[in-house]
Chain A
Amino acid sequence: MPVTATASPLPQTTACFTPASQPEAATEASQESVYRAVNSKRPVNLDLTTIHFPLPALTSIAHRITGVILFIGLIFAFWAFDKSLSSPAGFAAVSDALANNVLAKLIAWGLLSALAFHFVAGIKHLLMDADIGVTLEGGVKKAQITVVVSAVLIILAGVWVW
């Protein structure tokens, strides 16, 4: 039997590794090619358009990304904290920037959005620590709730800033 790698006739539309059900009239040749494909050490299906992270993985990485954003955003928060408490003129400068400066508004909304998501995803973490909904279905459900609740908070933050 030749060991050269040949193109696999397996269907390329699914991302899972469960074998596709064989048609009744499978020929000897196709069965052999399936056998080769299954036993080959080479990955058969790496069609990236059919492979995606589950939602809980996306909320997990978003929790990390928003955490890094918030750390960088501390520069703006501390500037506003310092300036607003420095003098009446400093306080006026911060309120004026938040009321009239589009860039300041965008930064404020961006940071409030990151904070909203990080906050909600953090509560999801605490629920998991409390052993609440720690199942496959519960994980997906909590990730969905995290996305919906933080989306609502992000919209409300936008309304607040503008």
Chain B
Amino acid sequence: MVTNITNLGRSGLSDWLIQRVSALVLALYTLFIVLYLLFNPGLDYATWSGLFAQTWMRIFTLLALISIAAHAWVGLWTVTTDYLKSTGVRVVAQIVIILAIFVFLVWGIQVLWGA
């Protein structure tokens, strides 16, 4: 069993499942946003902000934000552990990535409820 103190689920199998569930959420969210923009070519601010004022859209978007955080961490953890062999370099890169993910998460929540 793959165990590592820096991976998300503390087991490879858990990370495998997290990566797939978050991928499905992000695929659905991507399809939704792309189709919404395609079918609303003359989109204005009132309609756009009205969409994100809906409770279901806030739940869907928050779910997507959390999925981005989990998906990016599992993916970038895999990439950094595969290619950054020096422990010092890898840990610094992983700290920067975690910090960036945290900033994106807080930023997204603020946009979602700040508008």
A91 surroundings in chain B (CB, below 8 A) = 44-45, 48-49
In the complex, chain B residues 5-30 whose Cβ is within 8 Å of any chain A Cβ: 20, 23, 27, 30
In the bound complex, do residue A84 and residue B48 qualify as a contact, i.e. CB atoms below 8 Å apart?
yes
A162 surroundings in chain B (CB, below 8 A) = none
Q: How far is the CB of B76 from chain A (nearest CB, A)?
A: 6
Count, A-B residue pairs, CB within 8 A: 52
Q: How far is the CB of A66 from chain B (nearest CB, A)?
A: 10
- The reply on A85 being an interface residue by CB < 8 A is yes
In the bound complex, do residue A85 and residue B104 qualify as a contact, i.e. CB atoms below 8 Å apart?
no
- The reply on A74 being an interface residue by CB < 8 A is yes
B36 surroundings in chain A (CB, below 8 A) = none
In the bound complex, do residue A74 and residue B115 qualify as a contact, i.e. CB atoms below 8 Å apart?
no
A68 surroundings in chain B (CB, below 8 A) = 76, 79
Cα of A76 to Cα of B100 in the assembled complex, Å: 13
In the bound complex, do residue B48 and residue A78 qualify as a contact, i.e. CB atoms below 8 Å apart?
no
B45-56 CB mask vs A (1 if < 8 Å, else 0) is 100110010000
How many residues of chain B have a CB within 8 Å of chain A?
24
B76-94 CB mask vs A (1 if < 8 Å, else 0) is 1011000000000000000
B115: which of A71, A86, A92 is its contact (CB, 8 Å)? A86
A118-130 CB mask vs B (1 if < 8 Å, else 0) is 0100110110010
In the bound complex, do residue A126 and residue B20 qualify as a contact, i.e. CB atoms below 8 Å apart?
yes
B97 surroundings in chain A (CB, below 8 A) = 71
Q: How far is the CB of A48 from chain B (nearest CB, A)?
A: 21
Pairs across A and B, CB under 8 Å, 9 listed: A64-B78, A74-B68, A81-B108, A81-B111, A82-B107, A82-B111, A85-B111, A119-B27, A122-B27
Q: Which residues of A contact B (CB under 8 A)?
A: 64, 67-68, 71, 74, 78, 81-82, 84-88, 91-92, 95, 115, 119, 122-123, 125-126, 129, 160
Further pairs besides A85-B52, A92-B45: 20, Cβ < 8 Å: A64-B78, A64-B79, A67-B76, A68-B76, A71-B72, A71-B97, A78-B107, A78-B108, A81-B111, A82-B111, A84-B48, A85-B49, A85-B115, A86-B115, A87-B45, A88-B45, A119-B27, A119-B30, A125-B23, A160-B38
